[in-house]
Amino acid sequence: MVRLFVDEGAGAKLIAEVEIPIVTQSSADEGFEMYLPLDLDLQSGAILKASTQVADSFNIIAEGLDWAYNSSVRPESTNYTANTGIASISVANSNLDGTTGTVVTVFTAGSSGTYNGCKVKSIVIKGVSSSTADGMIRLFIQNSGSTVTKLFTEIPVPVVTPTSTARSFAHQIDFPEDGFNLQAGYKILATTQNANTFAITVEGMDWKYPTGNVLGYALYGQLASVPVNPADATTYYFGSNILNALRTTGGWSRLYIPTDGIIDSCYILCLASGTFGSAETSSIYIRLNNSTDTLVSSGIQQTAAVTGYSNTSLNIAVSAGNYIEFKYVTASWATNPLNVSIMAQVHVKTNL
């Protein structure tokens, strides 16, 4: 008997017993193997334990998913990337440890630096030559970045002689609907008992939650409620400006941030309904909490009736309750633009 226990800190509790019949493993007979479907929601830190009634050796592989409530991304935004492993095995290896003899890596789950895990959907094993004697293909799982390797499953291979009308050996392992969840960076290895050639194809999907936020909102500000005449080499502040005059003091035209997020882009529209200015350039910044400036563009001109500018490479972290303004530092013009209007809009990516 193999027994399974759950220990949540108050002592182990028996949850299942698996009967083990007498099995004699050989080069053509697989050792005992059983898939036990469970649906356990364990509290954080709980331990799944196992024991054996008789002093025989068993590998026990538990497939699980750690879970958490989403705080920065939406659950339906999970991204999947196809991951296909292809390899051939042909060198005889009778070892059961997966570390000695010729062992071939056939599949590697995406790295933990990028992915949360990998769903393995199927493993296809196809003979490329005759199977000259009864044998075995063995699959192993290896821990990421180490040599900890465990026998996962054995597939008996009978004598098969392919001809023009008879197929070579073929075997397919189909995992349940959700796939076999392989931890990020883990590997699937393979060996063959006899020196026959087999092609192995592993179909998987690496998955992750996207980093950063996926939705957002816009904030809009204007230089003044009417066209104005900015002076040379002067700093103005604007945002929620309902006055028909320019402001030279920060903190008065606040656009408040309602939800945590990242300002990732800004778009600026400049209008000159009077005299066009000369080509000297002004600068516009996003000013956070009347203290920190981030440049949007240093090439602002009013040399035409309509000019537009944008910066889509911003990365300004903001929290609910913060506020922003736009800081406008004018040029020393040879010819000053007259009747100027400036509108600015930022996009804040966040969860809504």
Amino acid at 318: V
How confident is residue 71, by pLDDT bands cut at 50, 70 and 90?
low
How confident is residue 73, by pLDDT bands cut at 50, 70 and 90?
low
For the ranges 59-63, 116-120, 175-179, the lowest mean pLDDT is seen at 175-179
Enter the DSSP assignment of 252.
S
Report the pLDDT averaged over residues 44-59: 94
Q: Are 127 and 136 in contact (CB under 8 A)?
A: no
The average confidence (pLDDT) of the chain is: 91
How confident is residue 214, by pLDDT bands cut at 50, 70 and 90?
low
Amino acid at 84: T
Residue owning tokens 């904030």: 219
How confident is residue 145, by pLDDT bands cut at 50, 70 and 90?
confident
What's the alpha-carbon Rg for the chain, to the nearest Å?
33
DSSP H/E element including 329: strand 323-329
How confident is residue 87, by pLDDT bands cut at 50, 70 and 90?
very high
Q: Give the domains, in start order, of the chain with CATH numbers.
A: 1-60 (no CATH), 70-208 (2.60.120), 215-350 (2.60.120)
How confident is residue 65, by pLDDT bands cut at 50, 70 and 90?
confident
Q: Are 98 and 148 in contact (CB under 8 A)?
A: no
Amino acid at 113: G
With a cut of 70, say whether residue 329 has pLDDT above it.
yes
DSSP H/E element including 149: strand 149-157
Which residues have C-beta within 8 Å of that of residue 69, sequence separation ≥ 6?
none
Tokens (6 digits) for 263: 């300002």
